[in-house]
Structure 1
């Protein structure tokens, strides 16, 4: 339906935010031509898998404090419910209109993580999501039927500053045959660190290994990169290590180096991945690129 009837919403700021950080976000709903009758409501829902903290309305000095106001001459009642909407949009804030009605052009302003009373803000979810939607629904006439507005507000949640560096390798290799490894910079929540830049160098427990000269992380890598050209030349159990310019270092999982390729090989993967098309998050491209380029797995399967 055209947004002029159900209304529209915007969020400020709409900038990227770091996963797990304390933020303050102002969502403004603009009432459409239908208005909102006495007993009507708006609902702001989040995905079931989000671990953003619950919103609260009682203690302005505590985390998650949310302030709700309106330009109209009505009374608002606010409630946060972990099961306030339907799967896969479970957690929801509902704002009910009482003692009057709102007309076209009125606004409802919701500040999630209001800091005016000394609170630290609102802790956003701890994992990355390129399209984090605040789904806005409206029950204009108090019938209990909520309709989604056109164009709910969206922000991107990205990885925070680097906390550790890791290197992931295959569990098996054949003497003299090159393979690739994944190097990833992770934040304190285990997300890849989008802002990581710098050079990394490689070493190995195999004294005869042939290794890449190094790698320079750039903006497009977003904290993770698959690097090829690693060759182990000594049979046995070995590892590959990585070190960045700040002295952070890590050692890989063990690698069994065989003289010849065995009849059966060991592969790692995930059979049950889900995206925003069902009850997960992210797109199909995001899922498979994570499997290959961040998790360093050999295969992945998509279940919906």
Structure 2
């Protein structure tokens, strides 16, 4: 009887943990960036989207499992770079062939991983195609070095600038609507190891940009980072964060930029520690005078103390 109750308690606890996690975690649904569906091109802006994860392989088997897109809109021209690009038409054709041959394995159609070198570039002027370059599936190539260098430089600079802003929002927590939550992850029965925690952090700039960082598996490394502005810019219904969206990152160089964000959200940033240390330096000078001011000895006690010396 006791074992049954214990088992039920564990199940209830797991359900509660899942519920709590869902309350704090973010909706990670998205659509891959396509120029045909960009809502407007009349304002200059940049967006980066990187996905290395499929929420439900059974449902999303026609969804690329490893893809990065950099969108730049400048002077009504749109530039779309893709890294890990697989031509959807070829993927669908191969899928149908394997399906007919009864050899289909879920999500095995998307063969090209993200490697930090773009293999697709589309340029439009007022939605009219000006240039289109992409590497065919069976060739282990990338775009010309000129395009690749530009892509990597702009991608890294763009991500780092937003990481710096998020750190600034962490330092100024009281004025940035900063929220941080840690949720214990469910453990298997008889697992006596240390409890791991998912960590979620969110903050908002004064102009309404919402920053979000997540370590979902409790390994201490941030793998999801997003920035969005609810200004109506999108590339389709429920297309996801419209400025920056990195989902389940596995790239080492990007890990170097975003990997510590949730840890810093929980433990504090080095900059915050410096501010606290400066405060203690000042307190070290001021507190003795404060004690003299607020702790006063009455005349009789002081007289008795002096006579006893």
TM-score by length of 2: 0.22
Q: Which has the higher helix share?
A: 2
Point out the structure with max Rg over C-alpha.
Answer: 2
Q: Which has the higher strand share?
A: 1
TM-score by length of 1: 0.23
